[in-house]
Amino acid sequence: MRSGILTCWIVVALCACATAMERPAQISPGDILITACGEPNDVIGARDPNGTWDPAEHLVADWEYISVTMASSIYNPAVQPDAAAQGPDWSMSIVSVVDIVDGDGLIGWSTRPKSAEAFDESGNLVSSVTSSGSPVRWYQQPRSWSATDSTSALLSAVFRNRFSLSFPVDPETTYPAVFSRVNWSMNVLVAQEIKTVEIPFEVKNTWTEVTPGFEVMVVQADVEEGKYKYKLNVQYDSTQIDYLMGGSIHLWRDEALPSVAVIGLDVLNAEGQSIRSLDGGSFSSTASYAGTNGQMTGTATGSGSCSSCGTAATFRYTLAFDLYEQEANFVLENVPVPSF
Q: Same domain, yes or no, for 183 and 63?
A: yes
Q: What is the pLDDT of residues 70-84, one digit of tens each?
A: 999 999 999 999 999
Any domain includes 2:
no
Q: Same domain, yes or no, for 300 and 331?
A: no
Q: What is the pLDDT of residues 53-65, one digit of tens each?
A: 888 899 988 999 9
Q: What is the spatial distance between Cα 17 and Cα 281, in angstroms, rounded to a whole number?
A: 10
Q: What is the pLDDT of residues 2-17, one digit of tens each?
A: 333 232 332 222 223 3
Q: Same domain, yes or no, for 173 and 251?
A: no
Residue 301 has pLDDT above 90, yes or no: yes
Count the Cβ atoms, other than its own, within 10 Å of residue 38: 10
Contact status, residue 7 vs residue 67, Cβ threshold 8 Å = yes
Q: What is the mean pLDDT of the chain?
A: 79
- Confidence band for 38, pLDDT divided at 50, 70 and 90: very low
Helix (H, G, I), strand (E, B) or coil at 20: coil
Number of domains, the chain: 2
Q: What is the spatial distance between Cα 340 and Cα 5, in angstroms, rounded to a whole number?
A: 6
Any domain includes 3:
no
Highest mean pLDDT among 51-55, 95-99, 156-160: 95-99
Q: Same domain, yes or no, for 144 and 159?
A: yes
- % the chain with pLDDT above 70: 79
Q: Same domain, yes or no, for 170 and 92?
A: yes
Given this model, what pLDDT does residue 137 score? Answer: 84
Residue 277 has pLDDT above 60, yes or no: yes
Q: Same domain, yes or no, for 187 and 42?
A: yes
Any domain includes 26:
no
Average pLDDT over residues 121-129: 93
Q: Same domain, yes or no, for 55 and 131?
A: yes
User: pTM for the whole thing?
Assistant: 0.73
Any domain includes 1:
no
Q: Same domain, yes or no, for 330 and 244?
A: no
Question: Residue 143 has what DSSP assignment?
Answer: -
Q: Same domain, yes or no, for 255 and 330?
A: no
Output 147 or 293, whichever has higher pLDDT.
293
Question: Residue 89 has what DSSP assignment?
Answer: E
Q: Same domain, yes or no, for 198 and 93?
A: no
- Confidence band for 23, pLDDT divided at 50, 70 and 90: very low
Q: Same domain, yes or no, for 280 and 329?
A: no
Any domain includes 279:
yes
Any domain includes 15:
no
Contact status, residue 236 vs residue 296, Cβ threshold 8 Å = yes
Q: Same domain, yes or no, for 162 and 234?
A: no
Given this model, what pLDDT does residue 41 score? Answer: 37
Given this model, what pLDDT does residue 314 score? Answer: 95
The H or E element spanning position 315 is: strand 312-336
Question: Residue 43 has what DSSP assignment?
Answer: B
The whole domain housing 67 covers 33-80+87-191+325-336
Task: Give the residue ranges of DSSP H helices in 3-121.
Answer: none
Given this model, what pLDDT does residue 37 score? Answer: 29
Any domain includes 7:
no
- Confidence band for 138, pLDDT divided at 50, 70 and 90: confident
Any domain includes 96:
yes
